[in-house]
Structure 1
Amino acid sequence: MNIVMLCTKFSRQESDPWLTNEMAAALQGQGHSVTVINLDWWAQAGEPDQRFITSRGVEVTSLVPLHVNSRLPLVRRLAKWAGSSLRVVKLLRETARCRRIDLLIGFSPAVTMALPLLWQRFIGRAPSYMVLWDFFPHHQQQIGLMPSGLVFRLAKWFENMLIRSFDHVGCMSPANVSYLKRHYRLRAVQGIHILPIWGGNAPVVAVDSAQVRAAAGLPADRPVVVFGGQLVHGRGVEDLLEVARLAAHGGSRSHFLIMGSGTLEGLVQAYLNEGHGNLTWIARVPRERYLEIAQSCDAALVCTVRDVDVPSFPSKTIDYLRLGLPIVASVEQSTDYGEFIVEQGVGVCVEAGEPLRLHACIEQLLGDDQRLAQMAQRGPACMAEHFDVELVIRQLLSQAGHSER
């Protein structure tokens, strides 16, 4: 089967894969021919386009978005979105002329691939599946990244129209399915499915925790809680820093590790400048090193923000489960993520925006060695049962009406 993936994030380094890399590799490994058209949204102006074939045989074309010099942000943004989409349409047409597309896979937000999706709906008409893990523009509006009013209504209408163009839509959890049906007008014939997030499930190589901690500048004799991911709005960075501050003032032995970078780096640096000494920040390391350092920790932290109704299911969960890290989650009330990790016996949960409760929850868990050990043992099994990329890809193909070759 010939499969085309349209995405805006695909790692060029196979040692540092993203979710789309793992999906493409799994599809190729199951006997399909996979072509990836990646509109590299974060590429800088002047960088070259890249065409390459991965070690698994996936054909990848990674395009640099169109950058237009203008004093008006709206003009720059519209030119980037519209002009870049036209380039993807051209590639998609060329691909369709060379081979029949048996399945086209797209990702949310659909608006980033608007023109290719419109071409696909009215001209290409290949069977299509949308992986929906971001409810644009609801989440962006609720965390302050998009204004309310006309801009929001237009964005919602456009995104809704593009979602309707897909034959099938896969959401991360039952709560996500419910949110989709409540907030978007779907076609009666669309297939709406639960498709979990995914990750590779290669065996984890044990590390010398003491040696790894020493190299990373972490304390050897204190429990360490790791937070990995982008430091951006919507990830609960403010709550995390407030918990660290509460721990410092309360004389806790807990130490916090942040691994990641983003627009909120200034908040982390400001906390470090306060001189509490209970937080380490590592901005960016290769993925293999990230996994080694995380494996040397005692628990992992997942944070989102309060006062949003968009249910999330953080992808960092995959690595935490593989490594056997007990999870402490601070998540919005609308999600079923916390319920899942508690029922699976891999973590504990409090509502987002409650740093006092989060701090107490962390201290209670770190003080219970037996519970920590049980969660650590259950994590890898939970990963294999629910999130192994090979399993999830088989689910996707079955939902799309294609049996495994």
Structure 2
Amino acid sequence: MKQIKDVVLLTTKYADDKKDAWLTNELAYSLDQDGHNVSVVVFSWLKNEPVSFTKVIDGITVIRVKLPEIFYNTGVVGTALKIFIFPFLARYEVRKQVKKCDLLIANTPCVTILGLSRFFRKKYNAKSYLVCWDFFPYYLKDLGAIRNKLFFGFFRHLEELMYKSFDRIGCMTDGNAQFLSENFPAVDKERVEILPLWAKIKDVEPIDKSAVRLKYNLPSTSFIAVYGGAMSIVQELENILELAVLYSGSEVTFLFIGRGTEKDRLEKLASARGLENVKFIDYVPRDEYQHVVQACDVGLISLSRKLTVPSFPSKSLDYFKVSLPVLASLDPVTDFGTILEDKISAGFAVVAGDVASLKRKLDLLISDAELCAALGANGRRYYEKYLSVENARSIIMSSL
């Protein structure tokens, strides 16, 4: 007979509305459906996120923690204060709300959860599992947000302490795991394993593409390449606009869906260059987002050429889900391109900045509908076989 466990999920990203469910939501729902007692402790890391509360949402006990507004000042000081005060406040709330815990599951960035794995081990005798999606100090260093070597060294030291404090660490890809080993050699390799990204696998119902395109004012007959997700310096989306320039006046449309710090600038840049084949749509709920993506022809991924940390972009799951082929503009160090082309056979990848190669790959997709269908089907098969939330849950729970 299966043992019921008390699990606490600690994160900075968790949707309060099921229609906007993210990876952390899907994991919590899956654990709950598997019979475990699940609590989620979520930090409202950004100023515009909800205030503190504790309530049951979709069967999950959600303990949301938000600091007083004074701590949400921009800049290094405000961020540093949040890094140290959030974990302190979380201890206080957890002591009040959580009676038992067999397993703590947390996700990076580690600096937001300072000392909490040790706290859970000491108070509850809990095992701990870290879902490693990024490497905070290197990520900020690559993008120029951390230029001071002392600051970088300090945050890297904190990150390493956190890695060492977890019983198990799940990395997205082999490249991710290798980066961890090479840059944090004090972390025991035996604690590290591959934990692919996950999603709730569902059948995708056919849609009326014409109706969806009409609803969102998209060309009815155009070949549409869609980018969905955050628009920030991480993505270097200028590469996609440069690609759009090469198709100006053609029956190829580039659609951007989402928000971010770079969105206004990208819209102004597209307008200044007279790119009538570029469209922007603001944030839409997850279920509607899926329909819009489904009404397109190819899914775009873009990452800054400055990045030095291998990654597996989560937006790829949205494309695999609806059987869209993927065209990716990537940093030169990630292993995602090799996985996409050689392991999944779901699309093409080029190094960010090589717009000519990006165009050649897109031309190939535009001219060959059968190829698009085959690549899309391969992505869907891989998604079903390896990227299910049940697979992730099984890997994580085996740590007990």
TM-score calculated relative to the size of structure 1: 0.92
**1:223 lines up with 2:199 in the alignment:** no
Q: Which residue of 2 aligns with 1:272?
A: 270
Separation in structure 2 between the aligned mates of residue 34 and residue 327 of structure 1, nearest angstrom: 35
Q: Does the 8 Å CA contact 2:212/2:292 hold for their aligned counterparts?
A: yes
Separation in structure 2 between the aligned mates of residue 339 and residue 84 of structure 1, nearest angstrom: 38
**1:40 lines up with 2:44 in the alignment:** yes
**1:62 lines up with 2:64 in the alignment:** yes
Q: Does the 8 Å CA contact 1:68/1:79 hold for their aligned counterparts?
A: no
**Letter in structure 1 aligned against 2:177:** V
Q: Which residue of 2 aligns with 1:92?
A: 94
Give me the CA root mean square deviation. 1.9
Query: Aligned runs of 1:15-34 on 2, under 5 Å?
Result: 15-34=19-38
Displacement, 1:225? Answer: 0.3
The number of residue pairs the alignment matches comes to 394
Q: Does the 8 Å CA contact 2:105/2:131 hold for their aligned counterparts?
A: yes
Separation in structure 2 between the aligned mates of residue 154 and residue 347 of structure 1, nearest angstrom: 40
Residues 125 and 43 (structure 1), Cα distance of their counterparts in 2 relative to 1, 3 Å cut: farther
Residues 379 and 75 (structure 1), Cα distance of their counterparts in 2 relative to 1, 3 Å cut: closer
Separation in structure 1 between the aligned mates of residue 188 and residue 122 of structure 2, nearest angstrom: 18
**1:79 lines up with 2:81 in the alignment:** yes
* 3-state SS, counterpart of residue 15 of structure 1: helix
* 3-state SS, counterpart of residue 226 of structure 1: strand
Residues 143 and 151 (structure 1), Cα distance of their counterparts in 2 relative to 1, 3 Å cut: same
Displacement, 1:131? Answer: 0.1
* 3-state SS, counterpart of residue 333 of structure 1: coil
Displacement, 1:190? Answer: 5.0
Q: Which residue of 2 aligns with 1:256?
A: 254
Q: Which residue of 2 aligns with 1:130?
A: 130
**1:396 lines up with 2:386 in the alignment:** no
Residues 304 and 4 (structure 1), Cα distance of their counterparts in 2 relative to 1, 3 Å cut: same
Question: Deviation per CA, 1:8-41, whole angstroms, max 9, x where unpaired?
Answer: 1100110110110001001111111111000011
Separation in structure 2 between the aligned mates of residue 71 and residue 19 of structure 1, nearest angstrom: 28
Q: Which residue of 2 aligns with 1:377?
A: 377
Q: Which residue of 2 aligns with 1:7?
A: 11
**1:51 lines up with 2:54 in the alignment:** yes
**Which shows bigger deviation, 265-274 or 340-349?**
265-274
Unaligned runs of 5+ in 2: none
Question: Deviation per CA, 1:280-309, whole angstroms, max 9, x where unpaired?
Answer: 100211111111111000000011011332
Displacement, 1:321? Answer: 0.5
Separation in structure 2 between the aligned mates of residue 300 and residue 361 of structure 1, nearest angstrom: 13
Separation in structure 1 between the aligned mates of residue 79 and residue 112 of structure 2, nearest angstrom: 11
Q: Does the 8 Å CA contact 1:201/1:388 hold for their aligned counterparts?
A: yes
Separation in structure 2 between the aligned mates of residue 79 and residue 66 of structure 1, nearest angstrom: 11
Q: Does the 8 Å CA contact 1:166/1:190 hold for their aligned counterparts?
A: no
Separation in structure 1 between the aligned mates of residue 82 and residue 345 of structure 2, nearest angstrom: 45
Residues 189 and 69 (structure 1), Cα distance of their counterparts in 2 relative to 1, 3 Å cut: closer
